[in-house]
Amino acid sequence: MGIFDKIKHAIFGEAKAAEPVASGAPKAPPAPAPVSPSAAPSPAPTASPAQSKPATAPAAANVDIVPILDAAVKKSGQKLDWRHSIVDLMKAVGMDASMAERKELASELGYTGDTGDSAKMNMWLHKALMKRLSENGGKVPADLLD
């Protein structure tokens, strides 16, 4: 699991924990849906995995990151500015915010600049992370996407 996936899981996992009934309910109906007496051939098992994937995607869609990250900051007991700092965001979700971790995240997200210029890299990382979270179902405020 990459650094981005860890961040995404830390944020989106909190959203799923708040709604366990919603994500558990869609997964149960696809299993009983295929009826063996009506269709004995192999198309029934093929339909089941296909139904399983769409049920997972909507569950992660539209996860509002603001209240989740605000709560994470409050829980940490630290004064963290996750809206502007990649280091603070990583700390808020309980991750290692070391330079090595940020360089690995930069590599994952496709940063081509000088990783030795940590200020420039950190600013790029924050914007790129917000964009990627948005692309993966996160509801990110517009002012954090530009």
> How many domains is the chain partitioned into structurally?
2
For residues 82-111, give the mean pLDDT. 97
Per-residue pLDDT band for 124 (boundaries 50, 70, 90) equals very high
Q: Which residue has the higher pLDDT, 42 or 15?
A: 15
| 97 and 85 assigned to the same domain | yes
Q: Sign of dihedral through CA atoms 131, 140, 11, 70? A: positive
Q: Which of 26-30, 83-87, 134-138 comes out lowest in average pLDDT?
A: 26-30
Q: Tell me which residue range forms the domain holding 7.
A: 3-13+62-144
Amino acid found at 72: A
Q: Are 125 and 102 in contact (CB under 8 A)?
A: yes
| 78 and 117 assigned to the same domain | yes
DSSP type of residue 125: H
Average pLDDT, the chain: 79
User: So what's the pLDDT on residue 17?
Assistant: 53
> Any idea what the Cα angle at residue 65 is, between residues 21 and 110, rounded to 5°?
120
| 56 and 115 assigned to the same domain | no
Instruction: Give dist(CA 10, CA 82) in Å, integer.
Output: 14
Q: Is residue 120 over pLDDT 90?
A: yes
| 73 and 49 assigned to the same domain | no
